[in-house]
Structure 1
Amino acid sequence: MEKMVLSSKTREAQSPTEKWMRYLGFPGGILLFLLVLYLPAGAGLSGAAQTGTACFALALVWWVTEPFPTYVTSLILMFLLLVTRTSPAKPIMDVLGMEVIWLNLLAFILSSMLVKTRLAKRMALWLIIKFGRKASWALLAFVILQLALSPLIPATAARCVMTLPLIIVVGTIYGSTEQTPNNFGKNLLLLNLAGISVLTSVTMTGSSANLVAVGFIQSMTGHRVYYMDWMIAGAPIAILTMLIMWFLGRKFIFPIAPEDQFPKVEGGLELVERQHKAMGGFSFQEKKALVIFGVVLFLWMTDIFHMRWFGVEISAPFAALVGAVLVLFPRYGVLQWSEADIPWHLLIFSAGAYAGGLALEDTGAAEWGVRTLFGGMNLRSIPFGAAFTIIMAVMMYSHLLTTSKTVRTIILIPIIITMSKALGWDPVSMALPAALCIDWVVGLPISGKPNVILFSTNQYTVGENFKFGMATCTVGMVLLVLSAATWFHWIGITPSFWAMPQ
């Protein structure tokens, strides 16, 4: 765990199909660029919108197929937006100064602190010791563990790598190995896969894609989504989904046999106990890390009260900035700058994504995308609840088509916002619930980095992954639709479920 690295290099191709996609993606992106660029005038796009769409289409193909690292594609996109006169230089460069870019950077500094001080490891070991003596409670312990880590480590691959050793040890204790997998192991691995992804939507800092969505909502609607706004909306759905899947998985999807309900290796949990005992008491560095992160979490969770308390609003980036200053403070901090594992490639990728997404909005290309995507649907003739269900389904299951959460976000969130405005609905009523679906990438082993990591244990098949993942997404869909009619309406996010477009 101490050697776990938060940032990562470009993902290697996992199959012959992915390798061919990378070979074909380069010419495919150029071909799509030329096709969109030279669409006939009757397509309904202005000149700037057409060139912006062509640039974005090229970047999209390259982001998905990855003939180049994603950050290189983002840099190419920013250059193309300039030379095609889609956007002036200043707006393109200004994206690096956006709040969400800074929040990404600062959150990874805080994450590095938790890894170096071993505070995250101590928490993980403690939970397994407390809950690991019966199958159902051992599974629940990992749900609690992933819930606890989700606001602390804003990288799903990082959380997966951190907890994988514990997952393998506990699976072995219950008789599930690569050679002899059983239903306990399938539940353990797939429940963790779901937990790593789904519980990322509990807080807006759980994923960089969440921050991208929040940035679009603020820049395109003028509505600021506070940390607690997101948490109040997203946490109940994510947590309830995981509790339902904890029950459905072990009872119906992969029923655990009676002989697998208890540890099979006598004294197996002593392995975990010895690791925990070897850590000793809380070190001074751990205590400092706990205090620092506690301060940041307090500021994040109380942002709606800051003006009343302090006379100034401390936004999420500035709360993280306070933490980063304490972490890096000479002599009294926890980290040296060289020890902060900051994924600069992710920040550059996000900057290019923002530049492209905002260019689509400014030129009217996003509105054109709405008409193209939803042109066959007469959304003006159906109530809000029906349109909400259709749009959430598109957002929820679209992860089967692309492995990038950020790419899905920058394509769909601006379109959803623009469409909501055109129909006369508050765009937040659609965009915020849609943003809660971004992280639910659980359908296939190639849908996300944690999926690939956990699938490499060879304890479940692609079909079993799809079965559990689709059940998870469907449970989430049902809860989202029910929330639109009840919880979201009560807290002022959605209108009446039966309201008609204006």
Structure 2
Amino acid sequence: MAEVLTTVKTDGKEPPIKKKSRIEEVMKKWGIPIALAVFLILFFMPTPEGMTPVAQRSIAVFTGALILWITTPIPIYLTSIAAILMLPLIGAVKDQDVAFESLGFGVIWLMVSAFVLTSAMMKSNLGRRFALWMVTKFGKTPKTTLLVLIIINFILAFFVPSTTARATLMVPICMILLEVYKAIPGESNFGKVMMLQGVQADAIATSGVMTATAGNIIAVGFINEQAGGHIGYMDWLLASMPTAIVTMLITFLIGFKLFSTKGEANFENAMGTLKDELKKLGSFSVDEKKASIIFIITVILWATGDYQKGWFGFEISTEQTAVIAALLCLLPRIGMLTWKEANIKWELMIFAAGAYSVGNALDKSKGAEWIIKNVVSGLGLEQMNHAMVYVVVIFLSMYSHLIFTSKTVRVTILIPAFIALAKSLGMDPVALGLAAAMTMTYTITLPPHSKVNTIYFGTGYFSVLDQVKYSIVTCFVGASVISLALFTWFKVLGL
């Protein structure tokens, strides 16, 4: 267990690389031949009735890229580069700017800034200090301790735009609590509940904050570009955070029904150890003070975005605010980071740019509309009540992580498809796209479904079966709450 603690305490380190399964190895081996074959078939076959040649070419590029993104025989960013290059070369877009301009989208800059802010939080130790202070201040009983850990996850979602970084902050604190308490991995129900709720709180809190993960940002880009929406930071927060809080509270109580913690209740020694850990951090460092000021400014600007025009005569957008925050973190003397320390994942930037390029090409060429119309006709969805379609889509989106383990790939595949579906059925594409996007972070069913799962699972406190039975219930609760919110809370908000 000490080895696990050492592993998860190392800031910025990735969890151990998981050995690929036999199915994954086969997919990787045959990904390129299958993608190439499908691309050629779609490209050279006679153009179906009702489809334009441009739409056919964009579908061919999108489908080939989709296969490569799923099977990953080459890194996903290389697939995106190839797709961006192919779109204008084969005439899938009429203007090459449609393909190349995606790297300049505001959401791409928002992602860059998110990585900078995460690095600032990790380097300054501000996140660790805050988490330790919250637990030692308010965690007086087992249940309140667990509740405080959940609240910390929700608060950190505003300041640390990385699910993995938040898990890296939280797991060592959980381990200290459980080690001092002498909780036995695999046997202690309190250990199971703490770690499993850590997994779920990380995911559910992420669904409530637009900037808490790159997938949310990519989804907003699709909703605003393809559905004609105007979703900003506060729109997402007001729509999603209440559903996240309600879902988390319900599943918090369910956890104690699934894993009884009676008889596991002495935390005095654990609290003493955590207080010692907090003391080791010393007084607030200069970097922590700088990070605090920058994060407070950022949150205030995001929270007041809808009122700035009336107050000052101009508005600072969500993306502009994020870039300002990143700039402050990187400025000499003012900030606390160098460019090398910013740890910007450029491969994800390129992947997102390619995803936007092929997605927008598919949308503008009407290729997506043609596909969805035929899918709707084939499944008989046009005969379904619109309310039922909303619910079906939300539940499909929620459980889609059982097939697609990457949040970003799921967002890229499903959100444009759901938007096109809504358009074809005469439904509101913004509301459907937003509701579906709110489910995308619930990657909580199995350890391989996210790095966060892997980090928590590596502690040994819960089994795969423990995670499955808790998460299946949580996903059902989450989808139900989001469905209910779509018909009630969304209307109150004007969505």
TM-score normalised by structure 2 residue count? 0.93
Aligned equivalents of 2:437, 2:371: Cα separation in 1: 18
The AA in structure 1 aligned to 2:71 is: T
SS in 2 for 1:205: helix
- Structure 1 match to 2:193: 187
SS in 2 for 1:151: helix
- 1:464-495: CA deviations, max 9, x gaps? 222111111100111112212321122222xx
Counterpart residue number, 2:233: 227
Match of 2:399 among 397, 402, 413: 397
The question of whether the paired residues in 2 share the 8 Å contact of 1:174 and 1:184 is answered with: no
Equivalent residues of 1:175, 1:181 under 8 A apart: no
- Name the SS of the counterpart of 1:443 in structure 2: coil
- The corresponding residue for 2:248 is 242
Q: Tell me the CA shift for residue 20 of structure 1.
A: 3.1
Does residue 167 of structure 1 match 2:169? no
Relative distance call for 1:436 and 1:186 in structure 2 (3 A) is same
Q: CA RMSD in A?
A: 2.2
Q: Which position in structure 2 is the counterpart of 1:216?
A: 222
For structure 1, which segment, 53-62 or 111-120, has the greater mean C-alpha deviation from structure 2 after superposition?
53-62
Provide the residue aligned with 1:135 in structure 2: 142
1:136–1:261 CA contact under 8 A, matched in 2: no
Query: CA separation of 1:20/1:472 partners in 2, compared to 1, >3 Å: closer, same or farther?
Result: same
Which residue of the partner structure matches residue 24 of structure 2?
18
Q: How does 1:426-437 map to 2 (within 5 A)?
A: 426-437=428-439
Paired amino acid for 2:153: Q
Cα gap change, 1:153 to 1:333, in 2 (>3 Å): same
Aligned twin of 2:258: 253
Provide the rounded CA distance (Å) in 2 between the counterparts of 1:442 and 1:373.
Answer: 29
1:103 paired to 2:107: no
Relative distance call for 1:288 and 1:401 in structure 2 (3 A) is: same
Query: Is the contact between residue 133 and residue 262 of structure 1 (CA under 8 Å) also seen in structure 2?
Result: no
Matched residue count: 487
1:82 aligns with 2:121: no
Q: Which residue of 1 aligns with 2:385?
A: 383
Cα drift, residue 259 of structure 1: 2.1
Cα deviation, residue 279, structure 1:
1.2
Cα shift readout 1:83-107 (whole Å, capped 9, x = no counterpart): 2221232121100110000011112
Post-superposition offset of 1:216: 1.1
Q: Is the 8 A contact 1:63 1:73 kept in 2?
A: yes
Q: Is the 8 A contact 1:187 1:254 kept in 2?
A: yes
User: Residue 43 of structure 1: CA displacement?
Assistant: 6.8
149, 157, 160: which one pairs with 2:156? 149
The offset of 1:44, in angstroms, is 5.2
Letter in 2 for 1:314: I
Partner residue, 2:329: 327
**Matched residue SS, 2:378:** coil
Check conservation: 2:405, 2:448, Cα contact below 8 A: yes
Does the C-alpha gap of structure 1 residues 10 and 412 become closer, same or farther in structure 2, counting only changes over 3 Å?
farther
**One-letter code of the match for 2:409?**
V
Is the 8 Å Cα contact of residues 363 and 369 (structure 2) preserved in structure 1?
A: yes
Which ranges in structure 1 are unaligned for 5 or more consecutive residues? 494-502
Compared CA separation, residues 190 and 14, structure 1 to 2 (3 A): farther
Query: How far off is 1:347 after superposition?
Result: 0.6
User: Residue in 1 aligned with 2:124?
Assistant: 117
The AA in structure 1 aligned to 2:58 is G
More displaced stretch, 217-226 vs 165-174: 165-174
CA distance in 1 between counterparts of 2:454 and 2:51 reads 40
- Please name the residue that 1:497 is paired with: none
* Local SS of the residue matching 1:280: coil
The one-letter amino acid of 2:160's match is I
- Letter matched to residue 327 of structure 1: C
- Flag the 1:177–1:55 CA change in 2: closer, same or farther, 3 A: farther
Aligned counterparts of 2:245 and 2:143: Cα–Cα separation in 1: 17
Map Cα deviations across residues 329-375 of structure 1 (whole Å, 9 max, x no partner). Answer: 22232222222111111111111111111111112121123124433
* Partners of 1:5 and 1:158 within 8 A in 2: yes
Q: How has the CA–CA distance of structure 1 residues 25 and 169 changed in structure 2, closer, same or farther, with 3 Å as cutoff?
A: farther
Moved more, 169-178 or 421-430: 169-178
Please give the secondary structure, in 2, of the residue aligned with 1:102. Answer: helix
Cα 1:254–1:40 change in 2 (3 A) is farther
Which ranges of structure 2 fall in alignment gaps of 5 or more residues? 1-7
